Structure 1
Amino acid sequence: MSCVEVVNHGDGIVELKFARAPVNALDPALCRELRAALDAAVIAEARGIVLSGGPKVFSAGLDVPHLLGLGDDREALTAAWQSFFAAARAVATCPVPVVAAIAGHAPAGGCVLALCCDYRVMASGDYRIGLNETQVGLVAPEGIQRLMRRAVGAGRSERLLVMGDLVEAERALQIGLVDELIDIEQVAARAREWLQQLLALPREAMLQTRRIARADLVEALQPEHIQLERFIEAWSAPGTQGALRALVARLGK
C-alpha cells in the first residue's frame, strides 16, 4: 500500500498526500515514495505541488521506533537518515512551487519538510509545529538551523531551537513560521488557491526569481551543512537513546 497518495486536480496542480497511518511517520519507504512522487509530478509537467498530510497530523517526523529498532547497525541508521535528508532536498530543489498544507501537528521532521516548501498553510487551533530535537538530546544540524533562521529570524530561531519549542498555530503565524491559518477542513483547498494565484504570474519570470530567492535554502541542505556522521554519533549516544525510548514509551500510553 502506498504511503503517498497522488491527487491530480486537473489544473496543473498535483497534491501529494502522506498516507501512513496513524501519524505519517517518516520511515525510509515514505521518504523514497515522496521523492519518486515529486519526480513523477514534474515529469508529468505539474505546474505546482501541494504537500499535505492529516488527519490532525501533517507528519509526526521521523519514525523513531523504526530507527530505534535498527539498534547499533550504523549502516542502516545512516541509510535511514540519508533517505530523510534526500526527501527534504527533493522538496527544496523541486523546480516548481510546493505549498505545505499542514492540517495538524508538524514536529521535527514534519517541520523540516514544511520549511522546505514555498508557502505554509496551517490549521488553526491546538496544533503545534517546530524543531524539538534538544528535548530528546539531539542537536539540529547547522543546515536545519538555517531553515529555521530563514523563516523566523536569527534571534527567535536561537530561542526556539535551544529550547526545542513546539509552538501553537497562532504563535507560529505571528513569528512567520507559517504563512496563514485556516479551518482544518479548508487547509488543502487554501493551499491550492494560493498556488493558483502564484501560477497566474508570468511563468518564466516567477520561476527564475524563485530559483534565485531559494538558493540559500538549497545550499543549507547540502551534506557539508548536515554532517550526517556527527549526527549519527549523537543519535547513538546512551543519553540520547534513553531520551528517545522514554519518548516512545510516553507516546505509547
Structure 2
Amino acid sequence: MSQIVQFAEEEKYSLITLDDGKANAVSFVMLDQLNSALDQAEEAGKVVVITGRPSKFSAGFDLSVMSQGGEQVMKLVSGGADFAKRILQFPTPVVIAVTGHALAMGGIMLMTADYRIGIAGDYKLGLNEVAIGMSMPRFGVEIARSRLAPAHFELSVNCAYLYDAEGAVEAGYLDEAVESGQLMYRAVAIAEQLSGLNMEAHKNTKSRVRAPLLRALEEAMELDFAEGGGL
C-alpha cells in the first residue's frame, strides 16, 4: 500500500500532508492513513496542521467507489462521517492549510477544523454534491448548518454554489485567505500561536461549544446509515 498521508512532528505542532498524486480523493486508503496520522498526532498532544498537495486539497469522496452504489458507498460515507466527527472533537486545535480545490467531502473537512486558511487564486471550495448527482448526506448538512454563515447555508447545500477563497471566508469555509507563497508560513504561525493554549481547557470548552452539533451529527449519521449512506 502506497503512503499517501505523511505525518511529521515539529517542535510546536504536528503536520499531516495529503498527497495521492492526483485529486486527494477521500478513499478507504486515505481514511485509514488519515486516522493513523491522527493517532500519532493525538499521542504527540500538539496543535495539528493538515494540508494537501499543490492546487488540490481534496476533491471529495472517491468517485470510483461512489459510482458502485450499495454497501461500499455506505461504508465509505460512514468512514467520512466518523472522520469528520473525530476532527470536530479532536483534543487539540486543528488548523487546515487549504492548498487548492476543496470540494464535497473536502469542503466538509474544512468545516470541521478550528482554523482554516486558503489561498487566493482560481480555486473552488464548497459542496458540489447535487451538481454531480448526489444527495447531500445528512451528516454533511448538519455540519454545514452549524459552521456556514446562515445566508450561505442553503445556497451552498441546495444549489452547490462554489466559492473562491475570498468568498469562502464570507461563507464560513475559511477564516482567512493569503497569497500562495504565504500559506504554510501563516499556518505555522497560527499553529504556534494556538500552541500556547491550555490543551485540557481547549478540549473541554470545545466539547461544550460543539455539543449541540455532535448530538445532531449522531442522529444524522444514524439516518444516513439506515438509508445506505444517505445519498
- In structure 1, the partner of 2:53 is 54
Q: Distance in 2 between matches of 1:200 and 1:174?
A: 27
Does residue 1:211 correspond to 2:207, yes or no?
Answer: yes
Cα drift, residue 145 of structure 1: 1.8
Cα drift, residue 179 of structure 1: 0.3
Cα drift, residue 48 of structure 1: 0.9
Residue identity in the other structure for 2:103: P
Does residue 1:195 correspond to 2:168, yes or no?
Answer: no
Cα drift, residue 182 of structure 1: 1.0
1:114–1:234 CA distance, 2 compared to 1 (3 A): closer
- Give the secondary-structure state (helix, strand or coil) at the position aligned to 1:181: strand
Residue identity in the other structure for 1:15: L
Q: Distance in 1 between matches of 2:208 and 2:130?
A: 32
**Is the contact between residue 144 and residue 220 of structure 1 (CA under 8 Å) also seen in structure 2?**
no
Runs (5+) with no aligned partner, structure 1: 236-253
**Is the contact between residue 137 and residue 230 of structure 2 (CA under 8 Å) also seen in structure 1?**
no
Does residue 1:9 correspond to 2:10, yes or no?
Answer: yes
Residue of structure 2 aligned with 1:118, choices 109, 114, 119: 114
Residue identity in the other structure for 1:225: A
Question: Cα RMSD (Å) of the superposition?
Answer: 2.0
Q: Distance in 2 between matches of 1:15 and 1:198?
A: 14
Does residue 1:81 correspond to 2:77, yes or no?
Answer: yes
Q: Distance in 1 between matches of 2:229 and 2:81?
A: 16
The TM-score with structure 1 as length reference comes to 0.82
Cα drift, residue 162 of structure 1: 1.3
* Matching of residues 1-253 of structure 1 within 5 Å: 1-11=2-12, 13-43=13-43, 45-68=44-67, 71=68, 74-222=70-218, 224-226=219-221, 227-229=223-225, 232=228, 235=231
- Give the secondary-structure state (helix, strand or coil) at the position aligned to 1:51: strand
1:161–1:201 CA distance, 2 compared to 1 (3 A): same
Q: String of CA shifts for 1:84-116, please: whole Å, max 9, x gaps.
A: 222222222211111111010101010111111
Q: Distance in 2 between matches of 1:174 and 1:80?
A: 30
1:230–1:184 CA distance, 2 compared to 1 (3 A): farther
Runs of 4+ in 1 over 4 A off after TM superposition: none
- In structure 2, the partner of 1:245 is none
Cα drift, residue 26 of structure 1: 0.7
Runs (5+) with no aligned partner, structure 2: none
Cα drift, residue 187 of structure 1: 1.7
The TM-score with structure 2 as length reference comes to 0.90
- Give the secondary-structure state (helix, strand or coil) at the position aligned to 2:58: coil
Cα drift, residue 173 of structure 1: 1.5
Count of residues in correspondence between the two structures: 229
For the pair shown, the structure with the greater C-alpha radius of gyration is 1
